[in-house]
Amino acid sequence: MKLQSNEQIIKTFHHHPLPFFIQIIKTIGASLPFFFLLYLFTPSLSYNSIIIANLIIIGIFGIIILYLGLIYWLDKLIITNKRAVHVDWIVLSKRIEGEALLNDIQDIQTQEKGLLSALYIFDYGSIQIKTASSKTTITFTEAPDPEGIKAFLAKNIEACKPTATCDIDIAGTPALES
């Protein structure tokens, strides 16, 4: 993502950590049958081959967890003083960037699940940003505090109305110039 002239990053949102930890737990759970099979074959294997097999299993699932961590960290929603940019890494070699000018944003929808979303640890969901063009829709899943992101965006969109000069303070407080 390249910044335009006079554009500054105000805030960057990453995915909520709870779904990431759930993915890690699932990956560890997926490795357990391999360790169990290795345990069953232990009497027929030599000591060195047991160590090598354990290292191979740990290495493969360690690489999978590292991959999940990189995708988790690289996916983000960036809010600048002019636009909202979603960087979505599909795989490490393919990413999709979607952007919407703050002036063009028409609708922001959020979705959270369950009553427990009032607690921080479960306060995540998705946020969908729609622009005047029907082709541009940004969907950021597993967003932390989607309602907070919506309020933050609404405050910055108000500061960037076409009748005013879009001048947002870096601290996130919109500053209007007439």
Segment 36-94, tens digit of pLDDT: 999 999 999 999 999 999 999 999 999 999 999 999 999 999 999 888 899 999 888 89
Note the CATH number of domain 77-159: 2.30.29
| Res 163: pLDDT | 55
C-alpha to C-alpha distances, 3 to 58, 84, 85, 130, 147, nearest whole angstrom? 41, 11, 10, 21, 26
Strand runs labelled E in the chain: 9-13, 76-80, 83-91, 94-101, 105-112, 124-131, 137-144
Task: Kindly report the pTM of this predicted structure.
Answer: 0.78
Extents of the domains making up the chain? 18-72, 77-159
Candidate ranges 31-35, 73-77, 130-134, 148-152; pick with highest mean pLDDT: 31-35
